[in-house]
Amino acid sequence: MGKEMQYLMIKRVEHVGIIVSNMEESINFYCNLFDFNVEMKQNTGKKELVFLSHSGLPGFEIELIRDLEQTNDYSEHGLVNHLAFVVDDIEDVVECCKQKGVNLEVGKIKRGMKGRKTMRFKGPNGEVLQLVEERK
């Protein structure tokens, strides 16, 4: 027999699913602000699903999920607290958002635990997003 496994061998994060109320608004937000592209659309009759990919993040997708029928409360499944993106310059991203007409309802730019600049804001469905600027 082989060596006993002490922990799961995770290779990478594959995707994150975000529950949305307005699919087109959500697609526009992630595509126009973060340069994601629509990879695939599917309508199961109960749910509308859209997968977004990014050329700079091979193998990672954002799955947008819109319920077409009344469903159970998602809180019984647990919720993701936030999704963080690494950027070169937070101030440049904020300026780019202003130019694109995106209101980030920007919080304060803070120094995180690892000394990096961070900023949290909400996406179009209330999802918490975070920008992380690595130390220069």
Domains of the chain: 1-71 (3.10.180.10), 81-136 (3.10.180.10)
Mean pLDDT of all residues in 104-117: 79
User: Would you say residue 4 has pLDDT above 80?
Assistant: no
Q: Are 89 and 95 in contact (CB under 8 A)?
A: no
* pLDDT for position 77: 62
Residue 103 — pLDDT band, cuts 50, 70, 90?
A: confident
CA 93/CA 105 separation, integer angstroms: 13
Residue 97 — pLDDT band, cuts 50, 70, 90?
A: confident
**Pairing label, strands 110-111, 117-122:** antiparallel
Structure tokens at 86: 């690494």
Which sign does the torsion angle of CA 13, 15, 19, 25 carry?
positive
> What pTM, to 2 d.p., does this model score?
0.78
The residues, any chain, with a CB within 8 Å of residue 43's CB and separated by 6 or more, are 49, 68
CA 7/CA 15 separation, integer angstroms: 21
